[in-house]
Amino acid sequence: MMRATLMALLVVMSAGSDTEPGAMAQAGSAAFQRQCDMICHVPADWFDTLQGARDACSGSSECVAVVDHSANSGRYGLCDKEMTLGQGSKESAVFRGVCVEHKLNAAGDRASLLQVGTGRGATRVEDDSALFARQCDTICDVQGWHQNLAAARQACAANKECLAVADHSANAGKFGLCLKGTSFARGSEKHEVFRAVCVERKRETMDGDSVNLMQMSIVESSASNDGDSALLFARV
């Protein structure tokens, strides 16, 4: 009876777009309800289409939601049970358009995500550092600035065009994204003030195609590996 009620609700709401705030969508055996200005930290699996992410989440007992970064030209990630949920605009204004689609149970209730700052999932933001390889005295041509490192990492992880995060906080600066087409340079060779600037390189795999910034003062980003839909990172 509860399942039938949920399906009836989906039929009623399907007249509108399934990407509007509050909209319902069906994928496989699961239903999803959309909530915007929300993010989860930090999806382990990324997909190029919303339907692909919904289908994967529907078939996973660990997945409780899908996060949609398409408003920022990003991808679609899976939020598992141990991830934290937070209001996007409180972390960075660019995340205001990011939405989370909660997977509903048979009764039409949302599966729970931990709120930021509570429970086991609260360490996820700090654990993001394990997804990037950090190297200092390195700069890039930045496109898109963020107020804090966690927000920049999240934005970079969601954006398949992003190669790295540039950390200018040592000079009271912000955190920027290094996108495809940029170049990397040794900071101190440009100006002494840039010696303290660091770049956190997103790594898909530890293979020979990944650019080693230590070997060159300037590296063209075309040498980076495009990789597949699931981003894998490693600390060096």
> What's the pLDDT tens digit per position in 158-182?
888 899 999 999 999 999 999 998 8
Confidence (pLDDT) at 41: 77
Q: Is residue 182 part of a domain?
A: yes
Confidence (pLDDT) at 219: 39
**Confidence bin at 4 (pLDDT 50/70/90):** very low
**Looking at 73, 89, 118, which one is the last position of a domain?**
118
Amino acid sitting at position 109 = D
Q: Are residues 82 and 187 in the same domain?
A: no
Mean pLDDT of 145-165: 88
Confidence (pLDDT) at 91: 79
Highest mean pLDDT, choosing among 37-46, 61-70, 148-157, 210-219 = 61-70
How far apart are alpha carbons 89 and 146 in whole angstroms?
A: 11
**Looking at 84, 118, 152, which one is the last position of a domain?**
118
pLDDT tens figures, 91-111: 788 888 999 999 987 666 776
Q: Is residue 16 part of a domain?
A: yes
**Range of the structural domain that residue 193 is part of:** 127-223
Domain count, the chain: 2
Q: Are residues 17 and 101 in the same domain?
A: yes
CB 62 within 8 A of CB 81: yes
Confidence (pLDDT) at 55: 94
How far apart are alpha carbons 113 and 101 in whole angstroms?
A: 11
Q: Is residue 21 part of a domain?
A: yes
CB 58 within 8 A of CB 31: no
Q: Are residues 100 and 131 in the same domain?
A: no
